[in-house]
Structure 1
């Protein structure tokens, strides 16, 4: 039987509202009810949930009525072992969204729990935008993260532009989840500007510690760099304590995590990072232009006088000249009196 490429308006409205009654006597198989964009009934329902559904009865009943009961009556695919129920849950629309992608996006943690418990072995891959369900859940910052990490045996930790879910988690520094909504163009340029609690980074590192060593493909920034520039000191400490060798990684400019702490333009962030031994050792490390993090501090101090206090606190180190010259033959003190090009780089981040 060929698939029906449209859903009757009554059934569509019922799915959007989570009304199970019109489906009680529906003779068409659920997996044959598709919108022009190949959204299933579950896609339609989940896309119309703007907040955590008060009840998961609709999903429960749909799975029971059309999937689980029928799947038990049908043999599984002898080669893949995939039941009809699992086949339905794995169906994607034109954007390659499964029902789990939609549930993660709509912050339906109870629905995510049902879907992942029903098919824990399946590795839900990325949609056309490079976003697997976990990445979407991290951006939304809800309990869906726990459900995906706790129930799924094989999890895709990736993200757009070669990033990972940890890159998104590392941007935050607040106790309250507050994701920022971007245009598609902005998302393609940067996956980092999302505010999430640092506890998310901890959860991902528990399951996938090597994520701390993955850099995005565009600017070679790691999760540690992102956490530092966004002032998420808790995430910085978490990453350094679990993956200390990640401190050695630099971006495409040769910047290390301490350069990024300076680029946060927040003194207390830098000062807290300097209390971490693994990061404090980076203060004499030079980027591709020969600038240490303290060269960048001096560039800031030229325009923002409060940064002079940081330099004064490390005056003994200047006197010993441990920071040396950059490739323009300039010392840290020299940059206090000139307009340094790197200042524009810092202010643009």
Structure 2
């Protein structure tokens, strides 16, 4: 393309355009431009590297006068296409220049074609013959580009010129109406609906979308008002399904659009009974996404929605559990009308409790266990009870007590669940993490590296603490806080040192895996106690710094704050210490207070610990008792030390009062 012509088309310089094209400033023959030099307009045939002609550039920038000049000189430019097969009309529609679009449409539609075509063009001539319906490389027309770029005025002009454009889908299956609905442009949807065929017969192309969807599928996700407009325009859209069998109600239920769901159910409640290709009904979709309000609305409109099953025999509760929607399960457990689903089995015989165990949902499993209507020992088609599945999912090697699979097994055993009546050795081949497996050995290596850092750090800090304590030992030798500081620091140093030595042996590959496991268990508990003692040591050291002897208690409020923070830190330094308390609520709800006391004081904890292959069940009790003792040490030490500091201050005030009284008596003695 001529460089000067490109600059004129891009900048809108009309004088430069006239100079390049060799046009006179006057007009002849009824206003038509006349070239002074023959053959100069042929430069309009030049294109850029993108294939754009000068008309493409001028139309895309909205220079109407330039477009008129170029079209008058060479009318074939209207049909020119660039490398993306965009015509000048598509470029103008994409940029939103209404005046240029109106002018180009006059040239795009030949007079003979306009006179011969019916008002509602149904494809009498191809898109290549009718340039107003020309498509680019993506199959999009000027109307698609106008909608995609948000130009309502351009859309209205295109719709008034050729309403049949609304029935042209692009290469991805998008109709203009679907595209406008997907973009949430209610104003554009109204324009397209208003320009629909007057006889009321709508071709599916008018509302078509990708994968067999309709415009209503997209509208319910965007706007309730838009959905209502589309439903009033074509009521049959509500029952149209896409390639996956989804209706608009499926889409609205999955997105939690309660307004759209109410609208669709109000007009036709039978929509709730249309499944997709997997047999999932709208209520299943809402359960999978955790939409409680949608489930309630569907249950209110269709009371038997809880009886609907998909192709795998799953009800609403099954779907909610498989997708770990805890709030939905909690809502159903509290609502009596969902009670008949609690023991329902799917096509494989799995109850909701089976699925909760299988997917490792410990909180959901506990919610189900708390419901006395739930049977804990139902067998599935494979003859396995929930406890069988839980034991199969359990890592029988070294594991964390707060892991979901561990909590599920503990909860089921303590609540009285039973295993299936079969030989126990059938499960031996399914166990993982036992003995010297590669997975278990890699655990030992990682644990050694992580715990060694903590144990060495504690040993270093506690070794240096006595030599850097505030004040002097002589000043605080008689204070309870001083002795507690020394005691807790010494115990923390000993625990961390022994833990470090155990970890050294636990990290050796020459040591038998059984002993390595034991060393890790012992070092874990020693480190736990060491951390708690470091917290206590820090609290005592701060207390000694805030309350030096002979000055009373200047930092009383600060001391109380330090004591409170230390107690909270001791209690929650390691959440795994209090794992039995997590199970107290479901046990209480199912067995009552008597059952809870029987679990805590009876023989049940020992079989459960053996089930988890814990060779040292006393260590869990050791950690709990150590935590309580250190907590008591902090509280008692702070109280004793504060009481220790008060008497000297009171005695000082008493002696001062006696001295003042004696001075007054001496001054008043008669001479």
State TM-score, norm by structure 1. Answer: 0.74
Deviation at 1:228, TM superposition (A): 0.4
Match of 2:330 among 260, 285, 309: 309
Q: Which residue of 2 aligns with 1:38?
A: 85
Match of 1:268 among 293, 312, 315: 293
Q: Which residue of 2 aligns with 1:339?
A: 358
Aligned pairs for 1:235-274 (under 5 A) are 235-274=260-299
Aligned pairs for 1:1-349 (under 5 A) are 9-26=53-70, 27-29=73-75, 30-47=77-94, 49=95, 53=96, 56-64=98-106, 66=107, 71=111, 76=116, 87-121=130-164, 124-142=167-185, 143-153=187-197, 154=202, 156-170=206-220, 172=221, 196-217=222-243, 219-275=244-300, 277-278=301-302, 280-299=303-322, 305-315=326-336, 317-318=338-339, 324-332=344-352, 334-335=353-354, 337-340=356-359
Distance 2:351 2:140 in 1: 53
Q: Alpha carbons of 1:299 and 1:12: their partners in 2 closer, same or farther (altered >3 Å)?
A: closer
Distance 2:345 2:326 in 1: 22
Q: Please list the CA deviations of residues 323-343 of structure 1 after superposition, one character each: whole Å capped at 9, or x if unmatched.
A: 7332233344x347513499x
Distance 2:330 2:284 in 1: 18
Deviation at 1:305, TM superposition (A): 4.4
Count of matched residue pairs: 300
Q: Quick check: 24-33 or 110-119, which moved more?
A: 24-33
Distance 1:255 1:95 in 2: 34
Secondary structure of 1:12's match?
helix
Deviation at 1:81, TM superposition (A): 8.2
Distance 2:325 2:308 in 1: 23
Distance 1:73 1:287 in 2: 54
User: Which structure 2 segments of 5+ residues have no match?
Assistant: 1-44, 362-671
Tell me if the contact between 2:105 and 2:132 (Cα under 8 Å) persists in the aligned partners. Answer: no
Deviation at 1:148, TM superposition (A): 0.9
Secondary structure of 2:163's match?
coil
Distance 2:140 2:322 in 1: 46
Tell me if the contact between 1:122 and 1:152 (Cα under 8 Å) persists in the aligned partners. Answer: no
Moved beyond 4 Å, runs of 4+:
4-9, 72-75, 77-82, 320-323
- Give the alignment's Cα RMSD to 1 decimal: 3.4
Tell me if the contact between 1:215 and 1:221 (Cα under 8 Å) persists in the aligned partners. Answer: yes
Bigger Rg over Cα: 2
Distance 1:336 1:17 in 2: 61
Distance 2:181 2:225 in 1: 11
Higher relative contact order, structure no. (Cα contacts within 8 Å, ≥ 6 residues apart): 1
Tell me if the contact between 1:284 and 1:323 (Cα under 8 Å) persists in the aligned partners. Answer: no
Distance 1:299 1:94 in 2: 44
Distance 2:113 2:292 in 1: 65
Q: Alpha carbons of 1:5 and 1:273: their partners in 2 closer, same or farther (altered >3 Å)?
A: farther
Deviation at 1:43, TM superposition (A): 0.6
Secondary structure of 2:250's match?
helix
User: Which structure 1 segments of 5+ residues have no match?
Assistant: 173-195, 343-349
Structure showing the higher helix proportion among its residues: 2
State TM-score, norm by structure 2. Answer: 0.40
Deviation at 1:115, TM superposition (A): 0.8
Tell me if the contact between 1:31 and 1:40 (Cα under 8 Å) persists in the aligned partners. Answer: yes
Deviation at 1:203, TM superposition (A): 1.9
Secondary structure of 1:114's match?
helix
Deviation at 1:77, TM superposition (A): 6.1
Distance 1:97 1:73 in 2: 22
